[in-house]
């Protein structure tokens, strides 16, 4: 888990932040509104900080090389599709998941599951 920092086009140099999670390899999950803002476009100057806490970067930061979001978010601003993913650059020849680990992945299981929600809520 960590935070992704970014700028929104046309809103000056203010830096915004969202919760994010290392998926696998170079992949990081976040919210769609963190990578794309309606009426402004794709976010810029993105970087991911694993295990961010009160200004500390215990594992450094990883610059973002690409990002995407679901069409339902980008085209229709539908909150049901407010999901984003970024790919980060390697550091010292290692992928993000080799530095900090990653979340697991399940498939072909019951839709009824116990889960934990992680994040850095703004409120």
Instruction: Name the residue with higher pLDDT: 54 or 107.
Output: 54
How confident is the model at residue 55, as a pLDDT?
A: 92
**What is d(CA 109, CA 25) in angstroms, rounded to the nearest whole number?**
23
Output the six-digit token pair for 24: 């696998």
- Dihedral angle computed from the Cα positions of residues 38, 10, 119 and 64, in that order, rounded to the nearest 10 degrees: 100
Q: What is the per-residue pLDDT across 20-73, written as a single tens digit (0 to 9) for each? A: 999 989 999 999 999 999 999 999 999 999 999 889 999 999 999 999 999 999
**Model's pTM, two decimal places?**
0.86
**What is d(CA 91, CA 79) in angstroms, rounded to the nearest whole number?**
33
Q: How confident is the model at residue 120 (pLDDT cuts 50, 70, 90)?
A: low
Residues 82 and 32 sit within 8 Å (Cβ to Cβ)? yes
How confident is the model at residue 98, as a pLDDT?
A: 92
């Amino acid at each position: 888990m960590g935070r992704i920092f970014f700028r929104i086009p046309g809103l000056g140099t203010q830096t915004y932040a969202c919760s994010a999670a290392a998926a696998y390899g170079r992949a990081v999950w976040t919210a769609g509104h963190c990578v794309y803002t309606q009426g402004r476009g794709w976010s810029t100057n993105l970087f991911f900080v694993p295990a961010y806490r009160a200004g500390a970067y215990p594992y450094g930061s990883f610059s973002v090389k690409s990002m995407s979001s679901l069409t339902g978010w980008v085209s229709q601003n539908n909150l049901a599709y407010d999901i984003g993913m970024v790919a980060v650059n390697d550091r010292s020849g290692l992928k993000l998941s080799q530095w900090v680990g990653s979340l697991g992945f399940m498939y072909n299981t019951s839709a009824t599951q116990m889960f934990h929600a992680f994040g850095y809520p703004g409120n």
